[in-house]
Homo-oligomer: A and B are copies of this chain.
Amino acid sequence: MKIINKNVDYALRSLIHIAKENGQVVSVSNLAEREKISKAFLRKILQILNKEKIVNSIKGKSGGFVLAKIPNEIFLMDLINIFQGKIKLLDCFVKKNICPQKKECILSKKMEKIEKMLIFEIKNISLASLLNGDGKDKPI
């Protein structure tokens, strides 16, 4: 049971890659080759990131993508929300008001606590925090 899917992983790796180019335009061909990811698949991901204004696209020959925000304004949580939807540890029936045990349910309370913790930790991961320590980037 994996929690983060390939779209998110590839999106993140692409963003790290683009960030390291310091504003230079990066094409999908370039990215795909260097990251060993299918070009067609990566294109789709970058197109979504463009629509979501995480990156800006430059059309035409020698076009490609650049970051639309600075790295400390891009979060892993954004990517998860875009590609996988909101994180729900347990898709609890309390919310749908149909659970016969809801009045006395300790599970839902415990789960909500853990869910909050998980979300807090993931929210804390910015693109910038993933670049630090690498050398090529400027710490923020």
Quick check: B3 and A88 within 8 Å, CB to CB? yes
Quick check: B91 and A16 within 8 Å, CB to CB? no
Quick check: A2 and B88 within 8 Å, CB to CB? yes
Inter-chain contacts of A122 with B (CB < 8 A): 114
In the complex, identify which listed stretch (A38-46, A48-56, A60-68, A104-112) lies at the interface while the others stay far away: A104-112
Inter-chain contacts of A86 with B (CB < 8 A): 1
Q: Write out, one digit per residue, whether chain A residues 1-42 have a CB within 8 A of any chain B CB (1) or not (0).
A: 111100001001100100000000000000000111000000
Please give me the residue from chain B that is nearest to A13 by CB atom. B101
Cβ < 8 Å to B, chain A residues 93-118: 93, 98, 100-101, 104, 106-107, 110-111, 114, 117-118
CB of A132 within 8 Å of the partner chain: yes
Quick check: B16 and A101 within 8 Å, CB to CB? yes
Given contacts A89-B3, A91-B4, contact A114 B118 (CB under 8 A): yes
Quick check: B104 and A114 within 8 Å, CB to CB? no
CA distance A26 to B122 in the complex (A): 41
Quick check: A1 and B133 within 8 Å, CB to CB? no
